[in-house]
Chain A
């Protein structure tokens, strides 16, 4: 029973364009959402978060959007850079953190 889902296992984007990574969840009790970035052979690192009382949070090139009625969040990266190539995980919290399966982003130079 996957409570947090990332339905796209991979995504390729041209450098300078927008990357959009999507995440769906089923548990309406989740009150906080986070995005993590993971490079090979390293632990995940925190990228950006959003509280359930907001619908948008922006940090530099990264923006997270939350649509509570659709139980959907997305991460926008603008402009995409080759260094953004990594696996991106969304996570949701109701005390403990539940992670999605990840999306592998490849930014082409």
Chain B
């Protein structure tokens, strides 16, 4: 059972470089999310998607872009990396249910921008 898979697990970037964090889920979930966790700051929602072709901003979207071309994949793009984007990034997915279903998280991607 793969669940939610994130790659890479670790990455060091130089200021101004760009990269894409990959996220894939094999549970046929409608909803997918990207969160970042800074020390002592909890999980902040960056972007989310309610289905293929539909994305929306969360609490902290600046400096990031996303796309959702398939149900399974939800990549997160950093165009011009900045030290403030040093964080642990978590991708998550859930069903569209009422009441809301639980979130299933990936193991995280630790990004350092120097």
Footprint of B on A, CB under 8 Å?
6, 9, 31-32, 34, 36, 41-46, 49, 51, 89, 91, 93, 95-102
**B35 an interface residue at 8 Å Cβ cutoff?**
yes
Residues of A within 8 A of B26 (CB): none
CA distance A31 to B97 in the complex (A): 13
Q: Is the CB of A43 within 8 A of B100?
A: no
Chain A interface helix/strand/loop/mixed: strand
**B103 an interface residue at 8 Å Cβ cutoff?**
yes
CA distance A34 to B105 in the complex (A): 14
Q: Is the CB of A44 within 8 A of B40?
A: no
Q: How many A-B residue pairs have CB under 8 A?
A: 59
Supplied contacts A97-B103, A99-B45, A100-B42, 7 more A-B pairs, CB within 8 Å: A32-B99, A41-B108, A43-B105, A43-B108, A44-B90, A44-B103, A101-B42
Q: Is the CB of A51 within 8 A of B90?
A: no
Q: Is the CB of A99 within 8 A of B40?
A: no
B41, B43, B45, B104: residue with the most chain A Cβ atoms closer than 10 Å: B43
Asked, given contacts A96-B33, A98-B59, whether A45 binds B105 with beta carbons under 8 Å apart, the answer is: yes
CA distance A100 to B90 in the complex (A): 15
CA distance A31 to B104 in the complex (A): 19
A44, A98, A102: residue with the most chain B Cβ atoms closer than 10 Å: A44
CA distance A93 to B108 in the complex (A): 22
